[in-house]
Amino acid sequence: MSKKARGRKPQSRQREKPGKRRTRRTRWTLWIALFLLAAGAAVIGFTVWPDAGPAENPLAENPGKRSSEIPGESFPDEGSEHIDIPQKVTYQTDPPTSGPHYSGVVRPGFHTETALPELLVHNLEHGNIVIYYDPEGASEETLKSLRELADRYRGTFDGVVVVPHTDPQNPIILTAWRHMLRLPAWDPKQVDAFIDAYRGRGPEKKVR
């Protein structure tokens, strides 16, 4: 082999090495970038999604106690047995928040006629919010707000039912399955917090 040929070998190796290094660097850079993206996605998923679970029943472990964040009271579960008309039930709370009930429900919306409690309890089991208003104690502005809520939420398992109920001390009472909020006057902040916490999260079929 001539000196000229022998001299080409090192030059060829010298030209290949930088290219291989660049290729390896590029591959490592891509792998590192993919790893960082995957790790970032995992962190985002962990920090956002876990909050959705406990919100479904925030007071389930502490019946009878109030939440510091959700307004209202919590009561023990009185059961969910279906009974036949015209059987009547004596509920432990007024208005009722759980217990035996008829198989039918009251249509979500604003009503000017009273409804049987045994029907309304089934609405609660569905995940509806049942709001009681005193026709004599509720102002026109309050009635307007109630109509807007009833029009906004009309789903079978996440609707709002508004019915009349006489209670001079608390002209507005909101109920959900095992929960109640009594209001001496209309309070949009508390109303919205209660509805957001429990609407669509009844024991029969959670949809939120």
pLDDT at residue 1 in the model: 52
Residue 203 lies in a domain: no
Residue 26 lies in a domain: yes
Residue 204 lies in a domain: no
Count of domains forming the chain: 2
Residue 120: phi and psi, rounded to 5, are -65, -30
Same domain for 17 and 81?
no
What tens-digit pLDDT sequence spans the chain (208 residues)?
554 445 554 444 445 455 555 555 556 555 555 544 444 433 323 222 222 233 333 333 344 444 458 999 999 999 999 999 999 999 999 999 999 999 999 999 999 999 999 999 999 999 999 999 999 999 999 999 999 999 999 999 999 999 999 999 999 999 999 999 999 999 999 999 999 999 999 999 999 9
Same domain for 73 and 28?
no
- Global pTM reads 0.69
3-class SS at 101? Answer: strand
Same domain for 91 and 174?
yes
Q: Tell me the residue range of the domain where 37 lies.
A: 3-52
pLDDT at residue 69 in the model: 85
The CA-to-CA distance between both ends of the chain, in Å, stands at 81
Show the tokens assigned to 178.
Answer: 């095992």
Residue 167 lies in a domain: yes
Residue 119 lies in a domain: yes
Q: Answer for the pair 94, 74: CB distance below 8 angstroms, yes or no.
A: no
H/E stretch holding 130 reads strand 129-133
Same domain for 106 and 176?
yes
Nearest Cα neighbor of 106 from 94, 98, 95, 118 is 118
Same domain for 188 and 151?
yes
Same domain for 47 and 63?
no
How many CB atoms sit inside 10 A of residue 200's CB?
21
Helices (H) and strands (E) in the chain, counts: 4, 6
Same domain for 75 and 26?
no
Distance (Å, rounded) from C-alpha 202 to C-alpha 124? 6
Distance (Å, rounded) from C-alpha 182 to C-alpha 172? 6
3-class SS at 183? Answer: strand
- Residue 174: strand pairing partners: 131, 181
H/E stretch holding 129 reads strand 129-133
End-of-domain residue from the set 35, 52, 69:
52
Same domain for 145 and 183?
yes
End-of-domain residue from the set 12, 35, 52:
52
Same domain for 63 and 37?
no
Cis check: omega of the bond before 86, within 30 degrees of 0: yes
